[in-house]
Amino acid sequence: MDALAVSPNVLWVFAAICAALLCASAISALLARGAGRDGHRELRLRVRSWWLMVAVFAAALTLHRNLTLIFFAFVSFLALKEYLSLIPTRRSDRRVLFWAYLTIPAQYVWVGMEWYGMFIIFLPVYVFLFLPLRMVLVGETTEFLRAAGTLHWGLMTTVFSISHVAFLLVLPEARNPVAGGAGLVLYLVLLTESNDIAQYLWGKSLGRRKILPKVSPNKTWAGFLGGVVTVTVLAVMLAPYLTPLDPLHAGVAGALVGTGGFVGDVVISAVKRDIGVKDSGALIPGHGGILDRIDSLTYTAPLLFHYLRYLSF
């Protein structure tokens, strides 16, 4: 894939995203006019941040394959850093944490080499075995299990899961003639983020019965089901332009993203509740931290990747 050699379908879908964002900007501007100076400030910030994120993502995805890989490696780095800054870490583990950061470039190099075997076992097997060894060499046994467990959970979520988005990019182009790997990445990310937004909107407008009141008091059954239906419809509509899926398989993919996205969201909510913070950070105005934005992706990326790989590759 050479510079700007992405399929025109990918560019058309980005154009459609821009149109949707224009609508969102217009609606938030109208709402703000009705509500006075500070009204809907959060919404305006949120839409503005969406514009920026879409611009960066579009540039990273369309300019060059390696740029896309570096972009997702950087997302993993920001997410892991945010996670390690939130959880309690032991001072004696400084060097262990440094090794944990080094797994990021390694994991994305396996993706760049299209070395599936190494990509899929590196973190769950080799890193899982190596980091406790490094901790033993330090010799601190107080809170050992908690330190080893929380570190590995963080790596699986922020590096292993997210790197699946990048591996979609390097799947053989020939099996997805309509849009190539970039089309699959866009399909996954667009469905996941639409699901987040759809669940929020359905929940705000119709939501009454709480689904998991102890973990996430704002999540309702209407939000969850509305999101799943919306994203299933969207998945079927987009599939012919971006994927090799037939309508039935695309519908299942949509339901998978809708359900997985919800689970990823509430799992990260449970982690934040455990730590005692509302947002994971303040990196993205109106959204919170990077983990708040990619929480659902930590579930949808591996789920959709293995579903697609089983069906088509």
Partner 1 sequence: MIRALRWLFFAVVARLIVLVVLGLNVRHRERLPTSGPAIIVGNHNSHLDTLVLMTLLPLGLLPRVRPVAAADYFLGKGLLSWFAINIVGILPLERRPVRGMDPLAACSSALTQGDILILYPEGTRGEPEELGAFKSGIAHLAARCPEAQTIPVYMKGLGKALPKGEGLLVPFFCDVFVGEALRCDGNRRTYMASLQAAYEALAQEAGDRRPLRVTAMPPT
CB atoms within 10 A of CB 215: 17
Indicate whether 73 belongs to the interface with partner 1 (CB under 8 A).
no
Q: How far apart are CA 72 and CA 146, in angstroms?
A: 28
Tokens 């053989």 correspond to what residue?
Answer: 172
User: Binding partner 1 by CB under 8 A: which of 19, 39, 85, 125?
Assistant: 85
**How far is CA 7 from its chain centroid?**
23
Per-residue interface string for the shown chain with partner 1, residues 89-128, x marking contact by CB under 8 A: x-x--xx-xx--x---------------------------
Q: Which is nearer to partner 1, 84 or 211 (CB)?
A: 84
Least spacing, CB of residue 108 vs partner 1, in Å? 17
- Per the DSSP assignment, residues forming a β-bridge with 210 are 220
CB-wise, 203 or 281, nearer to partner 1?
Answer: 281
Q: Which of 62, 76, 82, 299 binds partner 1 (CB under 8 A)?
A: 82
CA distances for 36 relative to 23, 84, 188, 206, 286, angstroms: 20, 40, 38, 26, 18
Q: Among 112, 207, 281, 288, which residue sits at the site for partner 1 (rule: CB under 8 A)?
A: 281
**Residue 283 touching partner 1 (CB under 8 A):** yes
- Exactly one of 55, 56, 113, 282 binds partner 1 (CB under 8 A); that residue is 282
Q: Residue 187, exposed/middle/buried by CB under 10 A (0-12, 13-18, 19+)?
A: buried
Q: Is 78 in the site for partner 1 (CB under 8 A)?
A: yes
Q: Which range binds partner 1 by CB under 8 A, 38-46, 204-212, 228-236, 276-284? A: 276-284
Neighbours of 125 (CB within 10 A): 11
- Amino acid, single-letter form, for residue 172: P
User: Should residue 278 be labelled a site residue for partner 1 when binding is judged by CB under 8 A?
Assistant: no
Minimum CB distance to partner 1 smaller for 131 or for 228 = 131
Residue 54's Cα: distance from chain center in Å? 13
Determine the size of the site formed for partner 1 (CB under 8 A). 16
What is the closest distance, in whole angstroms, from the C-beta atom of residue 273 to partner 1 in the complex? 16
For residue 123, the minimal CB distance to partner 1 (Å) is: 19
Q: Which residues contact 305 (CB under 8 A, 6 or more apart)?
A: 164, 165, 167, 168, 188
Cβ neighbours around 124 below 10 Å, total: 13
> Which residues of the shown chain bind partner 1 in the complex (CB under 8 A)?
77-78, 81-82, 84-85, 89, 91, 94-95, 97-98, 101, 281-283
